[in-house]
Each structure stands twice: as C-alpha cells, then as structure tokens.
Chain A
C-alpha cells in the first residue's frame, strides 16, 4: 500500500518533535528555532508526511527544475520524445533514462543520467493539449483516426504544427477535427493526463523523514497569441489541485488565469494553493510582463493585486535564453552591462531569422510586437527581469501595488525529460533535434540549437526539503536562479550591517535578525541613512562548478520624475584573501551611498564565475576525427556562468 495523493485530509504534524523522531543517540537534536517576530513552528505541514529529520532554521539551499516536459507535451511527443513524467523524475533522482529518437526497433538514441541529482522538481507539460493528446494516442477514442492525430504520431520536426492554432489564436479554439465542433471530446478527456501527472508526482515524492526529493504537481499554461509568448508554469503546493488545469483555452488572458487560479484553488478551502511562474519573457515582444490592463484604474489595481499574489516569481534563465537584461533598449537608463549578453538569443540591431523570414531586431518602443517565439518581432525593456521590475516600481507609484514584484528562479525547459541537465560538458540537448553535436551546433526553428544553452536551475533557501518548506520559499520569494552550476548566493538587506560581519560565524543569523533576506522588503528605516547589504556566495563544490570571479549588486530605482535607472556595482573581494583569479567563498558588505529615501528601489545580487568554456566549445574540444565542421561558428567560446538572487525592495513612505 502506498500513500496516495488522495489523502486530502490536512494533517498537521507537530513539527517540533522531529528531533526525537530521528532516534539514535549520536544524532543531535535540531537546533532551536531562530527567534523572530513571527516566531512559530518552522514549517506547518499542509499534507500528510513524516517530519524531516534535519531542519535548519538558518535555511539550506536546495536546487531544482520547475520546467520539465515529457511525452505528455504535444510538441515533445510530436518530435519523438517518449519520456514519461516518471522517467523525468527518475532522471532527476540520478537514475538513467532513455533519450529519443528511437530507431525502427525501438532502441533509444542513448541512455543518460544526471551528474548530480536534484532536490526538487515539477513536470510541467502543456495543459492545453491534455485532451487532444488522449484522443490522439488512444485508438479507442473518436479523435484517434483524424489526420491531425495521425500526423502527430509520426515523429517529425513539424508533426505537431497542425495542433498549434489552439494556442496561437488570440481567441483559443480546440481543434475541431480532434475534439468535435464543440470541443467536448477533448474537454472530457483532459483528466487522463492530468491525473497521470499527479500520480507521477506523488510516486516520486519522498514523504519519509529523509526528505531527499520533493515533487510538485504542475503544468504549463501555454498561451501564445500571434506567437508572442505568454507562457507560465503553474505549481501547486501539495496534492490538492484544481479539478482540471486552467489553460489558455479556459483563460485566454493573464488576468483570467490569476482570477481562476485564485478562485478554484487558493479560495477553494480544500488545502489547494498555487503560484504561476512566467517564463521566456525575452520572447514576448513586450507583452508578458506588461502593466495591468483594464478600462478603469480600479480594474487595473485589482489585476495588479491579483498578479502580485499569484505571480511571486519569474524564470530568469533557461534553454531558450536569458531574461535578465538586454543592452540598448529604451525605457531604462544605465551603462551597458556586458553580462547582459550572456546566452542572449538575439541582440538589438542584429538580424534574426525564421525559415525564410529575416527581421531586424528592433525596440518595441511601447507598442507590443509578435512572432517572439521564433525570435521575431520587437523587444522591450520589460521583456527582461531588470526592466520589468522597474516597470513594477512605476506601476506601484500609480496604483499603490506592485504588479511585477517578482523573485527569480531558473530552469531548463527540457523537452526530453532531462530535468536539471545543465552541465555544459555533458549536455545532450533539450529537444529531439539537438541530440547529436552536429544538430546542436546547427540552426533550429526556435531559439535553440547553437543559439540555445543547457538552461539553469531553480534555487531556494528553505529549512528542509519538503513541499511546504520549498513552496513557502516561493511565496517569500527567497529564491535564486543559476545558469547551471550550484552556486549558493546569500543576500541580506538592512540598515546597520558592517564589514566585520564577513568574518563572523553568525553572519546568516545576523542577516535574518537585523534585515531581510532575498525576496523581502527592507525593514523600516527609522533614523538610518543608507541601506546596507550582506553579499555572500559559495562556489559550486561539484565537478561542473568553477571558482567565483566576483560579486555584483544591481540596483534599479525610479526617481522623483518617474525615470527608471539601473546601476551595476562590482564588490571588492575579501581583504584577507590574496589576489586570486577565482574564489571558493566571496563575501562583502555594501552600503548604498546613493540611496534617496524618496525613491522606490530594488537591489539584487549576481555571483559570477570565472570564464569557462561554453558547451559549443567544450564539446567540440572532445571531438578529434569526427569534429563537425559546425564547430567553427560565431558562438562565444567562453561564458561566465552566474547566480541571480531575488531582489530586496524599498518602498518610500506615502
């Protein structure tokens, strides 16, 4: 008998007894909880599970992937992926899985395993097509024999394209061939894959006191009107989820999604709780992280509030590029930042291509474009975390609430189930048409192949590895993203931190006691002058990591005239370290002398590695006789991988 997800009864364990539960004499009891204003149990479970045997009140870093596709996704399946959600969870836990494509005898292209297992993960398949997929793959279903389904079943680069209109049309419509004119055939078969998704998450979740692996039930909301990307990953706190996923078909606008998630889940009073994480804003032509729409200012304010609650995080980095920042865009003022070019799928002033269409990459200048998913159309400052967060500050001035108050995570967006496979050297591609080095180095339909990268990881600071502890970090925005390595960035903001903290063993405790961690708001200012920040980072100790080169603090602020600015500051390396090209541990305390209490601002930390070889270079190094001609290409040979912390915010008094 297994514990199943249908234990909806909410059992709250007494969490403080867990030290004893662990047993053996030699095991130390968990340290006493940190004393804080909101003193209380460290985690209140919303589900039935063994309390974790280890619990760190000063919080541990956990790494995961919240953007993983299996064969349940129409595009992955169409391309030939046959990896199930179970396989993807297996992969994340260190077990080998098969990679597509399969030959005529059903043999996989390869078997691969991850270099270091993940701590948490969610499978996020495209929910718009759960019904269509069930129709297309089950011969007993009425939709099975349609031409659209027949085409889908034969692996090919475009075999799923006839299904695309559902998400590309500004008014979504189910495919009438597969689903019938009223769409009911597909509506009725959504639950087959939705329930399978839930079962897979349940089976892989470690509910024992070891707390080794956490899964989340999730799906991808895949709205793509006119190919401008509106995608989000929807992640549930526990096994209590909506009866069916709310997809683009049910909620064709962002505010409809937030409203329905809020009503059908957060307010359902059955233990359901949910967040939505937008991704690939870099491909949204200025439309994904935009100011709230609505006829009246009240309506806009209401939508801003809704978004502030339902979308506490965004995905800053993944396979299809970097969404942190881009140089040369209007709307924000600041010196060029060379690290914004890192894994950028396109740059302003260059040409992008899709099939026969070539287009100059231009600035949206306030008018959203389209075709972003194919690297087309315009780009806007709010397509990127840095600019969107500035827009959020501006909107907060206007509406009294910040609709774009987002922490950050990164993920892979793998479409072959290889969750967390971010190692540059061993990466084997995240879509079927990237499996060989030759293919990877070529050009693809999407911003992938030579333009793409292995993606990144989601990081959280949490007291233990359980659903409630990690979801709590999502809600607190105490999260970070990395471009792949397991870098551990720590960031605290307060008013009285000084240099000596870097040598203090109680640095982290002081950070929590006297300040706010990443994702928080600066505590009340009182009489203090300038805010101070503790910036700390530890390198990835593993083989795919490298020493750290430097720490940087990025500040964004809106001045009294409503102009938006940013500034990147390099922090000095530790004084007691000799000159080094790279460090294992970096620490600095930074005081923001330019602080103006009348200006809204945010600060986030970047921890940057020494230059290392990009996947496209290091994988060519390993080839001798069969070195593909494509190894001679324009991609940079070296990259500087990094971690981005969630910001700490300051709001001026009214």
Chain B
C-alpha cells in the first residue's frame, strides 16, 4: 500500500533528519530574508480547527463568537511575539527553551520504530530478567461468615454456636443456613495477599488466619469488626507467569526497551558528530547520586 510505504519512510530516521534540515533551512531563509512590511500571519483552516479543538477539550463546549475572536487574537499575539523573539535571537539564549527543544528531539528519536521480529527465546529471557514484573506472590482464597459487633451482644458466642451447626452438617451450601451478617468487603475473598488482609480485617485477624488449615470451617477469629468463621479454600504459592500468560505485555515492554536502545544508538551517532571542548576538567562530580547506598550527607 502507498500509505504503508509512506509511513515507513516517515518512520525512517533519515527522513527525520532530512525533514528537520529542510525546516532549519527554511527558517534560516525566512529569518535572514529582508523583512517585508506588513508581514503576513496566515491561520489555516487546519490551524483554526486545532485551536477550536484545544478549546473544546478544555471546556467541553464550543467557543462563542466572542470567545473565538479572543482565541484568534491570543494566537496572533503569541505569533507576533514569537517572531519578534526569534528575530532578537532570544531562543538561543534561553535555558528553558533549549531544554524543551532537546526534550522534543529526544521524543522524536524514540518515536522511530525499528522493532522487527522478536524470537520466543528473546522474549522468554526478557521475562526471566524482569521476573519482578512478571510474577505473583503467595496469597490465599477463603470464605468467611461474619458476626457483627455493632449488631450483636455477643458476636463471639454467636459465631461459636454457628460453628457447631456447620460442623454437624455437611455440604458446601451449609453456610447459607447460618444467620450471619454482611461484611463490608464481601464474604468470599480470593487471592488475598498479606497486605490485602490487613487492610480488610486488621492485623490480628491476618495473623490468626496464617495458622488456619485448608478445607474446613474454623473459628471464631476476631477482627476489628466482630467475629468470623473461616473456610480456607486454597493457599497459592508465588510464581513467575508462563510466557503465554503475559505474552502481549512482555512483547510491549520488550519492544519499548528495544526502542529506547535504538534511540540511544541514534543519539550516539549524533553525539559522534560533535567534539566536546570542556574548559575546566572534572567539573561533573555529582554528590547527589541516586543510588541508595550512596548516602548524601
């Protein structure tokens, strides 16, 4: 397709440099050309719709005619001042502008997309290397019956009586026969990590639960809200995910890593074109390193 061809040209780093070159040459021509008076500020339909869209995205409605005039006038003001500033060469002296341009350029470098085929082995190795990202810690899945301290004179006793009932009966549905209360975080808790349980039940309950065996009603265990009977269905061990479970995410992360490496390589090519002349030696020693072992005091 013509479009594909076009977009692949657009993505080509060389095209970027050519494009930027043209822009720079044009700017140079414009700036050094004798100034005509009056100069023209053309605002194309496309530019106007961009301004209107900006407005809409901010205020979620269309501008009134009066506001539209204001938008255009603001734009003109910006353009006039911008051109004057360029003529005065203010752009080259301003640290903030320099930084912004540098930031834009590095975005441009990263936007190039040289990623081709990624092999299964490469991806597997990437998941292994970044196992912190692609793993899950141990957790527990359990059901509980709640006896609310707010509503009962003796929730612990009520829970203990209910436990007798549960133990004398059999079958998974038996818990519906027991008159218990609604718990704010639900009665079936799946895949709860240690920190999840502390958040829902408090520290004491969590400690007690670690001692409960799988497959049977146990209790009562007290929480900050009242008493509970607990049935642990399963404890899950921590593990690294299989590649098939995380393929899309791993591929995206890996591609991003490759893109960054490619951008860095492009930067190094650019950097090679420059010779750096440092006036004084060694002025770059940084006390404020970010590695946590390097205390800065």
Contact = CB atoms under 8 A, between A and B. Distances in A.
A6 B260 contact: yes
Interface stretch (A441-449, A474-482, A576-584, A634-642): A576-584
18 contacts: A1-B130, A9-B259, A11-B252, A22-B191, A48-B252, A87-B292, A196-B288, A196-B290, A208-B134, A210-B136, A305-B58, A309-B58, A541-B198, A541-B199, A542-B198, A543-B203, A584-B150, A585-B225
B195 A212 contact: yes
Contact of B99 (A22, A243, A577): A243
Given A1-B130, A82-B297, A244-B99, A208 B135 contact: yes
Interface of A: 1-4, 6-9, 11, 13-14, 17, 20-24, 26-28, 48, 50-51, 53-54, 71-72, 82, 84-87, 90, 102, 106, 116-117, 133-134, 137-141, 184, 187-188, 191-193, 196, 199-200, 207-210, 212, 243-244, 250, 264, 267, 270, 298, 305, 309, 486, 488, 503, 505, 538-543, 545, 574, 576-578, 580, 583-585
A184 B148 CA distance: 65
B134 A50 contact: yes
B108 to A, nearest CB: 10
B172 interface: no
Contact of B256 (A9, A17, A187, A212): A9
Nearest to B295: A82
A270 B99 CA distance: 15
A210 B285 contact: no
B32 interface: no
B210 interface: no
Given A6-B110, A86-B290, A541 B201 contact: yes
A7 B153 contact: no
A27 B133 CA distance: 19
Interface in B213-271: 223-226, 233-234, 236, 241-242, 245-246, 248-249, 252-253, 256-257, 259-260
B96 to A, nearest CB: 7
Enumerate the 9 nearest inter-chain pairs by beta-carbon distance, A residue then B residue, closest first. Answer: A82-B297, A541-B202, A584-B225, A243-B99, A541-B224, A7-B256, A86-B292, A577-B150, A208-B133
Nearest to B205: A541
Contacts of A187: 95
A327 B182 CA distance: 40
A51 B242 contact: no
A584 B130 contact: no
B150 A574 contact: yes
Contacts of B70: 298
B99 to A, nearest CB: 4
Contacts of B129: 1
A208 B127 CA distance: 11
Given A48-B253, A87-B292, A243-B103, A585 B184 contact: yes
Contacts of A200: 290
Given A140-B283, A539-B224, A244 B96 contact: yes
A50 B287 CA distance: 35
Contacts of A270: 107
